[in-house]
Amino acid sequence: MTISAAIESFLAMLAAERGAAANTLAAYRRDLEGAEEAIGDLVAADNAVLASLGTVWAGLAPSSLARKCSALRQFYGFLMDEGWRKDDPSPALPRPRARRPLPRLLNHAEVEALFARAEEDAAGEKPDAVRMLALLELLYGSGLRATELVSLPLSAVPRDAPFLTVTGKGGQQRMVPVSTRARQALSRWMALRGGEGKALFPSSSKQGHLTRIRLFQLLRALAARAGLDPEKVSPHVLRHAFATHLLEGGADLRVLQTLLGHADIATTQIYTHVDSARLVALVNARHPLAVRGQGG
């Protein structure tokens, strides 16, 4: 098998089994073909040859280096799964100089403060306040990206099944669950929204939908009213809180990947580092040796 055929087979697997978007596939192709140009046949490359990429890629930003190495690690895992290689040389790949920064987080008490204020504001059934509550429920309750949320059409609102149909990055669609609380907030908003336009959350001019910038502004204003530091709160921070709190509750990482719409589970794995303090406490409290030590 030629290297180009191996790359094509790998990309076909990504498209068929993981539903990778066209832009994602193009990025993998560039990274793999770039590595091939630098060191030759990737299928036959040994550890020493892969290690030489450290010199070739010395000028890259840590994030670019991490992306290229991730593509190669997945490629070699695929070759082993298909029986085209018996060993995995990817541990010899260069390592980025810096880790990807951990996401900013809100703790449970801060999330509760946001909801308490949003619910208080919406008690009078003012349209803007009810809309804010519905937006908050979907950001934290379903983990939507800001763009995914503001661009939701009316047709995405669930009727019988408790799911939203969301169009994510690369035009990929996925189903995300909608909690009972969120459905109630959406029902309240739909009763006040009016019939103009096709967007679930129309702009003030009724032309198009609410913008990401306006969502950001509304959320920070809510945070200030809730007594929180507005600098700590954004749509993306609430998405991170959704993911982290689900993981704390025992959610499987693959399930979380699906809910968040990540094409690569490596993106989801960052959340395994967020809650390290809780994991250490769990080991100290539950491990048999720890329990034995406490018993004297």
Strands of the chain (E only): list them: 163-167, 173-177
User: How many residues would you count in the chain?
Assistant: 296
CB within 8 Å of 223: residues ≥ 6 apart: 114, 229, 230, 232, 233
85 as an active site residue: the answer is no
Set 145, 188, 193, 245: catalytic member: 145
Set 85, 117, 239, 240: catalytic member: 239
236 as an active site residue: the answer is yes
Set 169, 181, 183, 225: catalytic member: 169
239 as an active site residue: the answer is yes
Residues 70 and 40: beta-carbon distance below 8 Å: no
Set 73, 100, 181, 236: catalytic member: 236
Set 28, 76, 140, 271: catalytic member: 271
Query: Cα separations (Å) of 258 from 19, 183, 240, 251?
Result: 11, 21, 14, 11
108 as an active site residue: the answer is no
Q: How many CA atoms lie within 13 A of 284 on its CB side?
A: 6
Cα 140 to Cα 136: distance, rounded to the nearest angstrom: 6
Helix, strand, or coil (residue 34): helix
76 as an active site residue: the answer is no
271 as an active site residue: the answer is yes
Among all residues, which ones are annotated catalytic?
145, 169, 236, 239, 262, 271
